Structure 1
Amino acid sequence: MRMKRALTAVLLAGAALLAPAGTAVADDTPSEAGTAFRTAVAIEQGQKATANGSTGDYLYWQFPAGAGQRPTVKATVTLPDTATRTGAATWRLDVYDGLRRRQACTAGEQAATASRQAATVALTCTLRTVRPWSERWSNDPLPGAYYVRLTVTDAPDRDLGLPVKAEVQATSEDMGGAHAEGGSLGKPLHATALAEPNGGWNGSWWSGRWGWTIGGAVLCALAAIGGYTLTRHPRRR
């Protein structure tokens, strides 16, 4: 019985350490957007934000991202009634870091053209993994604020000013903390108006190397318990 209890404790401890941490989501839903970087509305990861605007407006939000996270931003625009539109419109989603440097999208449809008959248009941008630090000349994404800009880039002049409704959400996948690279920034980039992300600005202690280490420790413990059991209670023939 003691050996069974020890085995159970080892398995539970390993499962607890290997389980990923959840992302907290705020209950309140922001219902407006800024019109420039300086007035960008702050949102949390996992939080949906909505805003009413006009075709041709620049809509801005900002969200926090820490080291080891790979952010994905999704936007959906509900277009004006088809009876009021005269042609197709192209919408674009851009993401900038705390230094207002445009970050490249590694996946997703960053720009899309909606036909005159379309009711909505959806956009997605997945960034590179946020690094805990980088060289000054590098354009790597770093911990801090990330700005989302949504706007129409091509539309008939007669359609400019027509009402639209936008919905934006930023999420992230944990790709490993600062310990995976062994460095960190002294402070996040222009993130004074944002809450610290889950796991901290410099990433959580978790990384892939910890997973292998813990997994190996669990296997060693199981092997030791199995060997002890066979030695303590040898089979009778």
Structure 2
Amino acid sequence: MRTTRRNTVMRACAVALLAGVTLFTSAGGAVADDPSASASPAEDGKAGPTEAGTTFRTATAIQQDMTATADASTGDYLYWVFPADTGQRPTVRAKVTLPGSAARHGASTWQVDVYDGLRRRQACMYGHQTRKAAADAESVELSCVLRTVRAWSEPWADDPLPGSYYVRLTVVGAAEEDLGLPVHAETEVTSVDSGGAHDVGGELAEPLVPGASSVEQAADTGDGTDKPRVSLGSEPEDGWASGWWTDRWLWTVGGGVLAALAAVFGYGLTRGGGRPSRVPPGV
């Protein structure tokens, strides 16, 4: 009887431990870094603005998962600004549709750069940040996968922090005769949650959102003329993260449960093996 009960406890503990390991294995796989990055903006992205700014101060504000477009000329600098929050790993994708090959005089090289709210250039982990388009190419696609946004960092560090991020798209090499030719640009920003593996012990007092990020509306100056109004920096549609919840809570609670199950398992082994079983009378 005692042996049967002990075996039942051991089987229950083993099943619980296996379930816990499966849970953590699947959770770890969900936040694993995926080095693959499609360069082309997603086709199912939400429609966004149809113009781009030409400087940091006039950058057009967009949200993540939103496809922005702009018609410009070869040689123009195109700027957009988007919000990125703690734990996110943004991916910027851009596509430039080039004029007909008959109008071009040679190949061209295009580049997409990303800057944070302090206008510090952020390095790309991987992607196609710079690409050369052949003289007969119809379009060129670019991508940049940033590092995971941290909640806090040392003042001297160059780590990505919560706030606004600027996208700059331009040609960095082209025949002089091709400058000024019309092009069509598309850009989209997506991100994945990298999980608690990148959490730190502090957080910023305020996100790095500059006071000027986009020009979208006109404000009445009172003298009968309209003057462009520069809006405040963009922020996520659901607001900035409060900073108290991370998946480390899940790992902590799960670890406690597994520790308790291991203790019960060990107790069952010790109790069952430490006492001799009773011998039925008459044997």
Q: Is 1:98 aligned to 2:117, yes or no?
A: yes
Contact 2:46 2:67 in 1 (8 A): no
Greater mean alpha carbon deviation, residues 186-195 or residues 129-138 = 186-195
TM-score, scaled to structure 1: 0.77
* C-alpha distance in 2 between matches for 1:157 and 1:212: 58
* C-alpha distance in 1 between matches for 2:201 and 2:183: 45
Q: Which residue of 2 aligns with 1:60?
A: 79
Q: Which residue of 1 aligns with 2:249?
A: 210
* C-alpha distance in 2 between matches for 1:201 and 1:127: 19
TM-superposition CA deviations, 1:114-144 (whole Å, max 9, x none):
0001001011101111111111111111110
TM-score, scaled to structure 2: 0.65
Contact 1:178 1:204 in 2 (8 A): no
Unaligned runs of 5+ in 2: 1-18, 31-43, 211-231, 263-283
- 1:15-34 to structure 2, matched below 5 A, reads 27-34=46-53
Dislocated runs of 4+, deviation >2 Å: 25-28, 176-180, 195-204, 209-223
TM-superposition CA deviations, 1:36-94 (whole Å, max 9, x none):
00000011111111111000000000000011111110101001111100100000000
Q: CA 1:147 to 1:169, structure 2 compared with 1: closer, same or farther past 3 Å? A: same
- 1:1-237 to structure 2, matched below 5 A, reads 27-176=46-195, 180-190=199-209, 192-196=232-236, 200-201=240-241, 203=243, 205-207=245-247, 209-216=248-255
Unaligned runs of 5+ in 1: 1-10, 224-237
Q: CA 1:197 to 1:173, structure 2 compared with 1: closer, same or farther past 3 Å? A: farther
Greater mean alpha carbon deviation, residues 131-140 or residues 211-220 = 211-220
* C-alpha distance in 2 between matches for 1:198 and 1:106: 27
- Quote how far apart the aligned CAs of 1:210 are: 2.9
Q: CA 1:179 to 1:103, structure 2 compared with 1: closer, same or farther past 3 Å? A: closer
CA RMSD across the alignment: 3.5
How many residues are paired up? 217
Rg comparison, structure with higher value:
2
* C-alpha distance in 2 between matches for 1:152 and 1:218: 56
User: What is the aligned-residue identity percentage?
Assistant: 58
